[in-house]
């Protein structure tokens, strides 16, 4: 069975790593990796491949940055000849980035079978480019592999055939659990000059938080204020760094530590030892739940509701002035010890079995 996985952006790589590991015991699986090149800086891409020991991609498309239409259009044009050359039994896509939806459209237009890992997530917010990608990808997928139980309800409500939908758990947590030990030996905390259990880590890159300079500086001022009481660490996504530089922001507190984008293992170490995490990332809401670290999400909605109902996550909303009202509870209340069903390190093993069992599945007709 030939499986072709397509990845493009940072959050895809830990998911790919889990799948690649799970394919290894099966000599009958040939795994072809395609990297679209949506992310290309060392810390956004290559470092993940090194940290997670993922083999170099067989095909690297070098697409790079651009508007959504430009990125999706170029990716589709570059993927089509690769899919036709490789003729895989399964095309596997993960998550909700532009590489995911581009692959889905190309795969179905040439009649190839598509499996979507992390299917069914919905923020019900069309303002998020990822929501478009999720809906398009799920609508076209032959197998829908679900990580959050809400995904089952969402796919049912959209009329998906039950036989194509499988709750498998969370592949990103497979890789996280495997990486916690590896992250221990790294000097990341020393480099930032911070102590375990005594800092807040912040990640922020959503267009809705960083593209408007007034809003971005609003967030930074609130965080700068928080840094008067506890160190605040911000490894900056390139999008956020560019916007901050353009806005001319510089922090007042020396405990506000703006750093370069962290690689995967450095980030795992930073999350695991934090007192509190503030984020607008989807994946970090899940990682903090799995690690039992309190998380405040700087968004109005989440496509990952299990992290609230059975995890450590709380939605703050997108107004910086509201953050202060959540801090006391986040610092002092005990967090949930529960971990959602099948976030157990074996989600990718379940996926591998499902792909093998369904290798004669007819592509969907409607």
Q: Which residues contribute to the site for ligand UD1 (CB under 6 A)?
A: 9-11, 38-41, 44, 65, 97-98, 129-130, 205, 237-239, 242
Residue 166 annotated as catalytic? no
CB nearer to ligand UD1: pick between 89 and 148: 148
Pick between residue 239 and residue 353 the one whose CB is nearest to ligand UD1: 239
The full length of the chain comes to 366
Q: Nearest-CA neighbor of 165 among 99, 117, 93?
A: 117
Work out how close the CB of 239 gets to ligand UD1 at its nearest, in angstroms, rounded to a whole number. 4
3-state class of 55 per DSSP? coil
Q: With CA atoms as reference, report the closest residue to 32 among 111, 132, 136, 112.
A: 112
User: What separation, in Å, do the N-terminal and C-terminal C-alpha atoms of the chain show?
Assistant: 25
Least distance between ligand UD1 and beta carbon 286 (Å): 13
CB 189 → ligand UD1: shortest distance, Å? Answer: 23
| C-beta closer to ligand UD1: residue 237 or 299 | 237
Residue number with CB closer to ligand UD1 (84 or 260): 260
The Cα 12–Cα 245 span in angstroms is: 27
Question: Which candidate in 35, 59, 116, 205 is catalytic?
Answer: 205
- Which residues share a beta bridge with 202? 278
Give the shortest CB-242-to-ligand UD1 separation in angstroms. 6
Q: Which residues of 73-106 are buried (b: 16+ CB within 10 A; e: fewer)?
A: ebbbebbeebbeebebbbbbbbbbbbbbbbbbbb
Report how far residue 75's alpha carbon sits from residue 216's, in angstroms, rounded to the nearest whole number. Answer: 30
Token pair in block for residue 3: 């499986």
CB of 237 or CB of 257, closer to ligand UD1: 237
CB of 326 to ligand UD1, least distance (A): 22
**Active site amino acids:** 205
């Amino acid at each position: 069975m030939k499986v072709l996985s397509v990845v493009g952006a940072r959050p895809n790589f830990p998911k790919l790593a889990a799948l690649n590991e799970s394919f290894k015991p099966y000599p009958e699986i040939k795994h072809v990796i395609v990297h679209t090149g949506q992310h290309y800086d060392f810390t956004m891409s290559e470092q993940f491949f090194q940290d997670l020991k993922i083999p170099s991609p067989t095909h690297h498309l070098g697409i790079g940055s651009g508007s959504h239409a430009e990125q999706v259009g170029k990716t589709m044009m570059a993927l089509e000849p690769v899919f036709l050359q490789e003729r895989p039994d399964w095309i596997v896509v993960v998550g909700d980035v532009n590489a995911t939806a581009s692959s889905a459209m190309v795969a179905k237009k040439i009649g190839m079978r598509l499996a979507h890992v992390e299917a069914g997530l919905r923020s019900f917010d069309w303002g998020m480019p990822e929501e478009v990608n999720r809906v398009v990808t799920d609508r076209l997928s032959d197998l829908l592999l679900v990580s959050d139980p809400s995904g089952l309800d969402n796919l049912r409500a959209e009329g998906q055939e039950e036989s194509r939908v499988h709750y498998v758990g969370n592949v990103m947590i497979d890789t996280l659990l495997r990486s916690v030990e590896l992250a221990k030996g790294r000097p990341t905390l020393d480099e930032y000059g911070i102590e375990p259990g005594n800092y807040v880590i912040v990640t922020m890159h959503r267009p809705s938080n960083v593209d408007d300079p007034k809003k971005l500086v609003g967030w930074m001022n609130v965080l700068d204020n928080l840094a008067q009481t506890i160190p605040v660490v911000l490894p900056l996504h390139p999008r956020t760094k560019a916007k901050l530089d353009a806005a001319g922001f510089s922090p007042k507190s020396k405990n506000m530590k703006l750093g370069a984008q962290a690689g995967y293992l450095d980030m795992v170490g930073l999350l695991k030892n934090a007192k509190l995490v503030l984020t607008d990332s989807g994946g970090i809401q899940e990682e903090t739940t799995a690690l039992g670290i309190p998380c405040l999400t700087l968004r109005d909605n989440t496509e990952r509701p299990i992290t609230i109902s059975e995890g450590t996550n709380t939605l703050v909303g997108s107004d910086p002035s509201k953050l202060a009202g959540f801090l006391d509870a986040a610092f002092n209340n005990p967090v949930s010890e529960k971990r959602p069903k099948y976030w157990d390190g074996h989600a990718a093993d379940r996926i591998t079995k499902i792909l093998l069992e369904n290798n004669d599945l007819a592509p969907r007709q409607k």
